[in-house]
Every structure is written in structure tokens, then in C-alpha cells.
Amino acid sequence: MNKKIEVLFMHQNFPGQYRSLAPELNKISKYNVRSLSMKEEGAINGIPHDFYTIKNGTSPNIHRLAQEFEAKVMRGEAAALKCFEFKRNGYTPDIIIAHPGWGEALFIKDVWPNVRILSFFEFYYNTTNSDIDFDNTLEDELKPEIGFDLNSKLMARNQPGLMSLLESDEIVSPTKFQANTAPKLFRNKIKIIHDGVNTKLLNNKGDPFVELSKAGNPKEKIRLTKKDKILTFVNRNLEPYRGYHIFMRALPEIVERHPDVHILIVGSDGTSYGANAPKGTTHKEIYFNKVKDSLKGANIHFVGRVAYNTLTAMFAVSSAHVYFTYPFVLSWSMLEAMSLEALIVGSNTDPVTEVIKHGKNGLIVDFHDHSQLAKTVTEVLDNPSDYNSIRKSARETIVKNYDLTSICLPQHLKLIESLI
């Protein structure tokens, strides 16, 4: 009987980017799959899951440039100690598939010197021609102060990831833009393979609908369908990195032209990227408060975070879906919306323009120009059916280039096979 190939997934917040790859690999009889994370939760059915613990916090009064580095080293140490425990119990993986961004994979070769490592590369931070110096519309108090202090902090942030990449046998990144943020030393080594979109699940068939509490009257429910005018905006957190401030600035003109439009805003109040809002406030409050007097009576629904089936239903009934981002990591949500034939009004930033070609499979506007955004959205809402061919092309783009089962998973599996 042939020995099975042992595969260990490592991700600080498993499954993360491996939500499809890990269970798919686990279906293949020649592989034994297990996972390791910082969190006990997150296990995938049928895959043994372990977690490591960090016993102590970071050092008080440590140098500011060493704070984040120390935290990642501590995660790397804790993960390595857990792996030594695996080794003592007779477990040795043939392949480790890891997201090294939080430090977990730093010391893996000290545990298993001969293990093959496939790393996920997400982003490399720079202070020029990057997300950091991109947004000239921010208020002064929210703009990063670019200089040695910030640059040195970002370089320190990058180092644990670079150390892990040096130990990697193969590296994958989901977009060309993200791969090209890496130092030149690594670029030729990075394979572009997206995580994949389940286009069979995410199709715009049937009669989708969304049921929400009525704006201003939570006890009264409303049911929205494709027949309604619906503008959607989706982020993990409502913040400038994903263009929330630009979207808010555009709303008064949109609502003035289309007072009957329902505006569905998905996202929490926190900060995922960039600077936090001033203490005691949130980006959501700051930018909504600036325009709320112009939006009295508008059908604005701040729905927070929603269940996945609710999110996809929103995409399916959307008349226009705004997706803005700094030059940064591409959100799954944009591709999922395209798979559901949502009309994307996107920002002219990488990696959005890597996927969307203006007038063909979506619409592109200047990130910094909220008036152009408002004009484009109002034109779509004037005659949504005029854009049906673009909606169809959006789905075709995802099916052709990002489909989970026919494109992305086979590419991942082929790469894993090459490591055996």
C-alpha cells in the first residue's frame, strides 16, 4: 500500500484563503490533510485541526520598530513548538501550505528541514507609488505622515514575510498586481493563481430577493427584488482604504436624481487597513455625518455584517455595485458580485483594472472623483437594462478566468503535485 502524502495547512485564521483548496485536497485519496491555526475554531469538517497558543504578550517598552516583528516571531515560535509536538508524536508533513503573513511559518524548516513549502504571498508594503501615498482626498488628520518613521515601520512589517518566502519552494499570489508588489528577487518565482470563485453556486438564476428592515422603522420589513432600484456597497469595514468616504460623498447627488433608490451598505465600524479613526469615532460616522443632512428621507440601509447567502442575494438583485479600493489586496466580493452579474462601478486602481475593462465587463471611474462616481451610478439607475450585456460579460470573465472548479483548483493541485 502506497504511503499517503501528508499535507499541513498553516494559517493564522484558518481556513482563510484555503477555504476551498483544503477540502478539495482532502477529497483526493493520496493525501492526508490537517490544519494548524492560532484559533481553535475554523476547522473544516473531515480535516484534523490543531491550534497553538502564545503564553506571553509582547515586551513592554520594546523599540517601536520591533513591536510587530516581535509579535510575529512569537507566533512563529508558538507554531514551531506545536510542530515539534507533532514530530514527537510521529507526524512529519511532506508539504506545508502556509500563509506566512503573521509569522507562523518562520521556523518550520528548523522543525522539518526537508519539508516542501508552498507559501501564499498577499502584499508587500511600500510608501511610494502605493496604497500609502495614494489618497489625496483624506482629511489632514487621517493622512499618513510619510517619512522615515512610517517607511521604517513598514519595512519592519515586511521582514517576517520575506524571511518565510526565502524558505519557500513555491509561492502563489492571487493577482498580478499583488505579486508585483514583491521585491524583484521573488517576482519570477511567484505563480499567479486566484483562490477561485464558485460560479456554479454564484449564478443569477431564479428570482433572488433581499428582506430588510425598513429604514427608519426597524419593525417593518421590506422585500427587494431586481425590479427595485438597488445600489450596493460592501466592505469588511467601512473605511477609506475601500473608498467608503468617496461613496458617501457621491450619495447626495445619487439620491437627488433617484430618491427611490435603496442603498444597501454592508460592513462593520472598525478598521481593517490604514489609520484608525480619531478616538471615540468611526470612519462610518465621520463620513456619514458629513452628508446626512442631504440624505434625509433616503432609503439607506446600514446592515453591518450579513450572512453569506444574504450577501450574495444582494449582489444578485443589485442595479449597481460600487467597488472601490486603494492599490491594495483585491476583495473576493468584487469577483463574487461579477459572477452574479452585478454591474460593477469600480475605481481605476490596480487590481480592479486587472479584472475590469471599462465598458466591457464593468465601469471604471476615477477613485478620487466622487462626482464622476455619482454621475456614472445615476446613469446606470436611469436605465439599468441598458447595461445587461456588460453584466453578462462580467460573469463570463469570472467563469473564464477565475472559476473555482475548472480553473483555480486544477492550477493549485498541479502546483502541489509538482512539489511531491
User: pLDDT tens-digit profile of 307-353?
Assistant: 999 999 999 999 999 999 999 999 999 999 999 999 999 999 999 99
Q: Write the CB contacts of 204 (distance below 8 Å, at least 6 apart in sequence).
A: 316, 340, 341, 395
Contact 160, 100 (CB under 8 A): yes
Nearest CA to 70 among 59, 80, 61? Answer: 59
Pick out the chain residues at pLDDT < 50: none
Rg for the chain (alpha carbons), in Å? Answer: 23
- 180-184: Cβ within 8 A, 24+ apart: 181/123, 181/124, 181/125, 181/126, 181/130, 182/121, 182/124, 183/124
pLDDT of residue 1: 55
pLDDT of residue 266: 97
- Report which DSSP code applies to 114: T
The CATH code for residues 210-401 is 3.40.50.2000
pLDDT of residue 275: 84
Contact 187, 179 (CB under 8 A): yes
pLDDT of residue 2: 77
Q: Write the CB contacts of 96 (distance below 8 Å, at least 6 apart in sequence).
A: 7, 8, 9, 10, 105, 108, 112, 115, 116, 117, 118
How many CB atoms within 10 Å of residue 35? 23
Does the pTM exceed 0.85? yes
Q: What is the DSSP pairing of strand 210-214 with strand 217-224?
A: antiparallel
pLDDT tens digits, 189-230: 999 999 999 999 999 888 999 998 776 677 788 899 999 999
Residue with cell 506566512: 100
How far apart are alpha carbons 407 and 90 in whole angstroms? 36
How far apart are alpha carbons 175 and 397 in whole angstroms? 14
How far apart are alpha carbons 108 and 23 in whole angstroms? 23
Nearest CA to 326 among 350, 301, 295? Answer: 350
Torsion of CA 213, 215, 220, 225, to 10 degrees: -60
> Is residue 351 reached through a cis peptide bond, with omega within 30 degrees of 0 on the bond before it?
yes
Q: Write the CB contacts of 376 (distance below 8 Å, at least 6 apart in sequence).
A: 345, 363, 365
- In the chain, list all ranges with CATH 3.40.50.2000: 5-196+404-418, 210-401
How far apart are alpha carbons 232 and 323 in whole angstroms? 9
How far apart are alpha carbons 363 and 320 in whole angstroms? 10
pLDDT of residue 30: 96
What fold is seen in the domain 5-196+404-418? Rossmann fold (3.40.50)
